[in-house]
Amino acid sequence: MEKLVRPIFAVFDEKLKFTKLNRKFLYRAVFVPLFLCFFQFLPAQVLPGQQQVKFQVFTLSEGIPGLEEQVDESQNGVFSLPISHLRQTVPYILEGILYGWNFCYTPSDKTRGVEEYFEFEPINTVKTGDPRISFSGYKVDESFFSCWVSYDRTDEMMLYRKHWQSIYHPQIRGTGAASIYDGDEGFKAAYAEAAKNALRSYARGIVKNKPKEITGKVLLCEAPLMSIRNGKYVAQLEFLLEIDEILPYSSF
C-alpha cells in the first residue's frame, strides 16, 4: 500500500527533549488519544508572499525491517528514531524552500563516451534548532509520526524570495525515487533526482543539441508531494529555475 503525503519534511528544535520523566506523561497526554483520531495530512502553506512558512511533516514511527540503525535513546526514548530522521531531512528541505540548490548537470552522451553527472548542493544552510522554527499538532499512529512546522522568514529571506518572483523564472516539474533502505540519504537522493529529471525535461525543449554542461539553481516553489512506493521514496517536486550557463560542445 502506498502512503501519500503533501509534503514530507520535518524538523525538531533541540530544545524539544523527551526525557524519562516527561516521556511517559507526554505519551499519555498527547500521543495515546491521537491513536483514536483519523490520521490525515492537510495541504501545506508555502506561500511566496507570506513571512511565515507553514507545512505538515511526517516520518516513519518505527525502523525499516532489515535496516539496522544505531540511535541514542537516552533523551527521546521510543521516539528517538523518528526524531533522528526528522533532524536530518528537514534542514535539507527548508534549504530548498528558503534558499534553493545550486546544480551542475552533464547529460550522458554515448557517442562521446560521457556518463551522466549531476551535482546538487544547497545555496545556504538551515540548522536544526533554529529559533525561527516552531512545532504543533503532534500525531502518531502505528506507522507514522507527524506534526506541523512553522518557520518565520527574515526580511532578507523575503527580499530573496521577491527576487525569484520578480524576474521571470520558468517553473519545472520532476519526479525522483530512491530506496528507503538508504535512510536519510535515500530521502535526499529522491529530491535530487526529481530536480535532475525536471531540468533534463526542460532542457530538451530549449536546446537543440545535447549540451556539455548546464549550471544554475532551483528553488522549491510548491509544497512537495512525497510517497513511499515499493520500498522507495518517490518525490514529485515543482521548482523555479534559473540557468546560469549552457555550455555546448566545441565544434570538431
130-161 pLDDT per residue, tens: 888 877 777 887 778 887 778 899 999 999 99
Query: What is the grid cell recorded at 247?
Result: 555550455
**In this predicted structure, what is the pLDDT of residue 71?**
57
**How much is the pLDDT for 21?**
32
CA distances from 37 to 31, 142, 178, 236, 247 (A): 10, 12, 31, 28, 54
Share of the chain above pLDDT 70, in %: 73
232-247 and 171-179 as β-strands: parallel, antiparallel, unpaired? antiparallel
Q: What pTM was estimated for this model as a whole? A: 0.77
pLDDT of residue 12: 36
Pairing of strands 3-5, 52-60: unpaired
- Return the C-alpha cell found at 165: 518572483
Q: Which grid cell sits at 6?
A: 503533501
- Which residue do the cell numbers 548542493 mark? 121
pLDDT in tens, 6-65: 333 333 333 333 333 333 333 333 333 322 222 333 344 455 668 888 877 777 777 666
98-113 pLDDT tens trace: 999 999 999 999 988 9
What is the average per-residue pLDDT within 171-195?
94
Distance CA(163)–CA(99), nearest Å, equals 11
Using DSSP's 3-state secondary structure scheme, residue 204 falls into: helix
